[in-house]
């Protein structure tokens, strides 16, 4: 939509998620873009999704913002195995990347939320030219595959994104992803938000560290918690809130994600009055 300025631009591929649990396999729509868009739809944020998928994309009826379909290719597919008590991610298929020419509109906030390397360095730079603020999920920058197709994190210093932190307003990382970062070097150049599950999140800037407590819920499936957290943080920025209050809102949305399997249904009547 050339010439349009939106509240948010969500950049990352949809995917097919296969959740391998004790009771069997669950097939569902996945991808950070799906979870983030779901939050924005619920709260009325004007946005679009820039995503790429293959001809086999199975959830066209579940997404309001369709991906660009590349003929002759497959949609990114993740297999998440929970048998050993921890999640082991494998990739069964990988879609084409999102290129800089796919970014065709302006936004107040852009979110780089690639799931498997589809956000290229030049695409991240293009986002910084089209949006006032750019937020990135660390998985967009670090993920690679080992010889058995399992997802692993490459140290940020060994990626082409290490020199692009100045293009970001916020970088979100899980505790596992944070181990692949030089925290002092990152926080000196951008705001770093580390999600810590039941312990909430930490917000690190060049000048301060904030610890923001979690929202207590009963966990069913952790998939998508970080994505909803990222969407909540972006919503706070759109409202012009402080980093601490953005983190409180992010923790609430992240908590809602773990109470359900797949993209969650959000009941905004449960949102605390101070965060509405």
The reported pLDDT for the residue numbered 120 is 98
Domains and CATH numbers, the chain: 5-265 (3.40.1190.20)
- State the catalytic residues: 227
Average pLDDT on 246-271 reads: 81
Specify the 3-state DSSP secondary structure of 199: helix
How far CA 248 is from CA of 78, 144, 170, 205, 239, in Å, comes to: 30, 31, 15, 16, 13
pLDDT bracket for residue 198 (50, 70, 90): confident
The reported pLDDT for the residue numbered 2 is 45
The reported pLDDT for the residue numbered 1 is 44
């Amino acid at each position: 939509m050339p010439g349009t300025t939106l509240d948010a631009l969500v950049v990352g591929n949809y995917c097919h998620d296969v959740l391998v649990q004790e009771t069997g396999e669950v097939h569902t729509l996945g991808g950070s873009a799906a979870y983030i868009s779901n939050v924005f739809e619920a709260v009325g944020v004007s946005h679009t999704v820039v995503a790429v998928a293959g001809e086999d994309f199975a959830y066209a009826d579940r997404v309001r913002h369709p991906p660009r379909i590349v003929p002759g290719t497959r949609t990114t597919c993740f297999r998440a195995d929970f048998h050993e008590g921890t999640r082991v991610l494998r990739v069964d298929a990988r879609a084409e990347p999102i290129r800089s020419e796919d970014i065709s509109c302006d936004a107040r906030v852009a979110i780089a939320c690639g799931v498997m390397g589809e956000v290229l360095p030049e695409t991240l730079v293009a986002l910084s030219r089209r949006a006032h603020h750019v937020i990135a999920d660390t998985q967009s920058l670090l993920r690679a595959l080992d010889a058995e197709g399992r997802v692993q994190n490459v140290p940020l210093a060994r990626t082409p994104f290490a020199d692009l932190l100045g293009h970001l307003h916020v970088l979100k990382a899980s505790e596992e992803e944070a181990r692949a970062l030089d925290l002092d070097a990152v926080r000196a150049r951008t705001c770093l938000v580390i999600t810590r599950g039941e312990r909430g999140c930490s917000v690190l800037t060049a000048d301060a560290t904030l610890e923001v407590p979690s929202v207590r819920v009963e966990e069913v499936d952790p998939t998508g918690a970080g994505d909803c957290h990222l969407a909540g943080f972006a919503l706070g920025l759109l409202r012009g809130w402080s980093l601490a209050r953005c983190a409180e809102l992010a923790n609430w949305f992240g908590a809602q994600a773990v109470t359900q399997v797949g993209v969650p249904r959000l009941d905004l009547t449960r949102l605390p009055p101070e965060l509405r």
